Amino acid sequence: MDLRKNTAARENVIHLARTPEEKSPETVSDNSFSSDKTETVKNLSGVSEAWVADHAKHVTRMLPGGMFVQGIFVTTDEDVFEDPNCFSKLRAILNYTYKLLNTNPYMFGNCLEISERLILHMSTSTKVLTCKSVEVGPVKSTVLKPVDWKFLPKAQQWQRLDCYFEFDDVYPVIVKKSGISVKQQFQQILESAHKTIETSVMFIDGELKNGSEALENLNKKKKPKTNVKPTQQDVLKSMQVSLFVPFENSLPETVEYLECDGSIHFSGVVSSSVFMYPKATVSEAITAVKQDIVRSLASRFTMHCDALIDDNLLPEEKVCFNEPPRRVLVPVGSLYLCDYLFPGEAPAEALLSVRELLDLQITEAEVVCDLETPADTSEFDALDRDSSSEEMLATPQEASQFMYITGICFAMLVLVISIIVHYYDSIVGVIGKLLSKSN
């Protein structure tokens, strides 16, 4: 698996991740690549397109914004570019992967806009590396383009940008004849969050920057003019990013009054850490940060839905508290990728993902776990204590482990308050006219 960072000047390959050996059918699981029983692949024709594509899907969840799975690498004796059967198989793998990633654009971002994918081949006999690109997707071209592949003599320097984006929104839950689908409700939240983030304005270190300016120039402007030679630490100093949503964009186009059966209070802070090539522009950094936040939400929603036993969103007349998987960082060379831990999981769980999906060995101490803290349940606990009936609180099995879900009474309260606020001016005007007539 070829992980690549796109820049205007060149494309940087971050890591080559070996795809795990395919599990035997009786041990296949949607949630983990780990298995004691594997099937050894003896030649390229025995490689499963679905298995490689699923590996790409899981790896993409671990990538910060601006980074994508952009190809495959293979080691064989034969020349895969000259052998029609080998090349046909590799193209089938890339096309299958492209179609799978295309099912969730919120997670996979604008990588789908680029139809070229890389094939890197190393001959086991000559040890020669050959890299070429090929068109995938609906494009029918089979023309191979040579790609110049070079290894850097030293570790690449990356500009890190950190951001914390807070969500605090209430969404209606409407019961249809077919019931309430968790995936549909989460998809609506994701679409709304995507629109909000896309309309936001990004400030770097508290300032609005020119989109065409290079990130390395921003660092040079901040440094005082001295004779001291800049160190690597100075170059890689993190930039703090803030996203502000214009007020007019935070209001709905039309005001609708819905008869709701409940509501979802979606609240929390998403941490974002992206790594950019110093020559990347501010516009590229803005795209990467926004994409990272949306990808993180899409990843958590997908992981949550995959772990669900029951797709029913809201137990009748219950109040549920659900906590999402939190984000942690794992080192890969001079930058960080990420993983997600469900409540109660230890950093050691991230080591399993890194070993299975990225083919890397790291220690538990290297996992950065303090980006996001566990949810504050004090308000929810108070609701539990004040409740006169134990039936008001859903059991952990009924909770869907993701977010606040309030009952019908709270939805009606929100609706009543909205109506009062909306018609307040009209009511005051009528009362004023009546008083003037009586005088």
On the question of pLDDT at 170 being above 60, the answer is: yes
| 163: DSSP letter | E
Task: Please give the pLDDT value at position 438.
Answer: 45
The pLDDT confidence band at residue 6, using thresholds 50, 70 and 90, is: low
| Backbone torsions φ then ψ of 5, nearest 5 degrees | -110, 120
Q: How far apart are CA 78 and CA 70, in angstroms?
A: 23
**390-417 confidence digits (pLDDT tens):** 444 433 333 333 344 433 334 444 444 5
Mean pLDDT within 359-385: 78
pTM over 0.85: no
On the question of pLDDT at 63 being above 90, the answer is: yes
Task: Please give the pLDDT value at position 386.
Answer: 55
Q: Which long-range contacts (CB under 8 A, 24 or more apart) does 412-419 make?
A: 412/260, 414/170, 414/263, 415/257, 415/258, 415/260, 418/257, 419/257
Task: Please give the pLDDT value at position 278.
Answer: 87
AA identity, residue 24 = S
Q: How far apart are CA 5 and CA 109, in angstroms?
A: 13
The pLDDT confidence band at residue 202, using thresholds 50, 70 and 90, is: very high
Q: Of 92-96, 110-114, 332-336, 423-427, give the lowest mean pLDDT range.
A: 423-427
Task: Please give the pLDDT value at position 306.
Answer: 82
In the chain, where the domains are located: 2-146, 159-307+325-347+362-372
| 238: DSSP letter | P
Mean of per-residue pLDDT scores for the chain: 77
Alpha helical stretches, state H, 359-407: 378-386
Cβ-Cβ contacts under 8 Å for 265 (sequence gap 6 or more): 169, 170, 403, 404, 405, 406
Q: Of 183-187, 284-288, 289-293, give the lowest mean pLDDT range.
A: 183-187
On the question of pLDDT at 320 being above 90, the answer is: no
Annotate 396-435 with DSSP letters as a single string.
TTTS-SSSEEE-HHHHHHHHHHHHHHHHHHHHHHHHHHHH
On the question of pLDDT at 287 being above 70, the answer is: yes
Task: Please give the pLDDT value at position 180.
Answer: 67
